[in-house]
């Protein structure tokens, strides 16, 4: 088992233990009613899932988003805020998405050990950077040393055909961000696709047949990471 998988398993075990303790203390009525409503709530569930993604997986953006959403809706339960505080969620969300887009597609800096999506000498030849907002697109990728890239869809979508692409021998990652949008990826039948996408009121699924996905070449692996909210996508095999 790799160190990454060990971290995920360790983190999941901690989450299960904490959840069990919280339920046990709730059953023993050791929480005050106010604390009980906070601990046993959907907002706290989002925060816990966000912390798990933040510390025990490589989906840090997803972790921050889940923690922010959970904390926003939990604040009125803790503090005496105006009754219409929750109405500010959507404008704040739009501002956050705008800032996220700027850093994701322009000002972001590479983290140590991560692919350099912004390196111009490699980006055009080895990475994709697909962005759709209130629009759609269709692309056929024929990169011969494909390392991944980014796909962002906000109130839009895309269809990306990777059947003529060839994966590099390195770690190949596509980072996804869908909000009220999505995309469809068509990949060669011998690719192994690892789906690490986190979804809220959405989904991202592998629609390839069992017989097709079972013939994957372990040396040809594509990792999908990211966050889907009110949207979705799928993975298709080549015909």
Those residues with Cβ within 8 angstroms of residue 179's Cβ, 6 or more apart along the chain or in another chain: 97, 153, 154, 155, 228, 229, 230, 231
* Residues 209, 2: Cα–Cα separation, whole Å: 27
Burial of 13 (0-12, 13-18, 19+ CB in 10 A): exposed
* Residues 12, 28: Cα–Cα separation, whole Å: 24
* Residues 114, 229: Cα–Cα separation, whole Å: 24
Q: Is the dihedral of CA 148, 128, 230, 188 positive or negative?
A: negative
**Quick one: tokens of 128?**
């994709």
Q: Return the domain boundaries, the chain.
A: 3-106, 120-237
* Residues 137, 129: Cα–Cα separation, whole Å: 12
3-state DSSP call for residue 163? Answer: coil
Q: What is the mean pLDDT of residues 192-199?
A: 85
pLDDT at 131 over 70: yes
What digits encode the pLDDT tens for the residues 180-191? 888 899 998 888
Q: What is the mean pLDDT of residues 72-76?
A: 83
pTM exceeding 0.95? no
pLDDT value at position 16? 82
Burial of 11 (0-12, 13-18, 19+ CB in 10 A): middle
> Who has greater pLDDT, 81 or 205?
205
**230 in the Ramachandran plot: left (φ > 0), alpha (ψ -120 to 50) or beta?**
left
Give which of 151, 163, 166, 198 is closest to 52, Cα–Cα: 198
Task: Give me the count of residues in the chain.
Answer: 239
Q: pLDDT band for 222, please (50, 70, 90 cuts).
A: very high
Q: What are phi and psi of 108, to 5 degrees?
A: -65, 150
What digits encode the pLDDT tens for the residues 152-176? 888 888 899 999 998 988 889 998 8
Q: Are 174 and 225 in contact (CB under 8 A)?
A: yes
pLDDT at 2 over 60: no
């Amino acid at each position: 088992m790799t160190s990454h998988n060990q971290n995920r398993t360790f983190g999941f075990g901690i989450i299960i233990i904490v959840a069990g303790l919280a339920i046990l203390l709730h059953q023993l009525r050791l929480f005050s009613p106010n604390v009980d409503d906070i601990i046993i709530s959907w907002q706290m569930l989002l925060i816990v899932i966000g912390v798990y993604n933040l510390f025990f997986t490589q989906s840090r953006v997803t972790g921050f988003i889940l923690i922010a959403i959970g904390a926003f809706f939990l604040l009125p339960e803790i503090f005496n805020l105006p009754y219409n505080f929750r109405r500010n969620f959507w404008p704040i969300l739009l501002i956050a998405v705008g800032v996220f887009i700027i850093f994701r597609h322009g000002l972001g800096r590479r983290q140590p050990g991560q692919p350099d999506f912004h390196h111009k000498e490699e980006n055009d030849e080895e990475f994709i950077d697909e962005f759709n907002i209130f629009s759609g697109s269709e692309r056929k990728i024929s990169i011969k040393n494909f390392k991944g890239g980014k796909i962002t869809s906000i109130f839009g979508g895309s269809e990306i055909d990777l059947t003529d692409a060839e994966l590099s021998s390195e770690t190949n990652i596509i980072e996804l961000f869908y909000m009220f949008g999505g995309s469809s990826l068509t990949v060669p039948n011998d690719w192994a696709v690892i789906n690490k996408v986190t979804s809220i009121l959405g989904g991202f699924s592998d629609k390839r047949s069992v017989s097709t996905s079972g013939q994957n070449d372990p040396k040809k692996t594509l990792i999908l990471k990211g966050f889907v909210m009110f949207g979705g996508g799928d993975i298709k095999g080549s015909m």
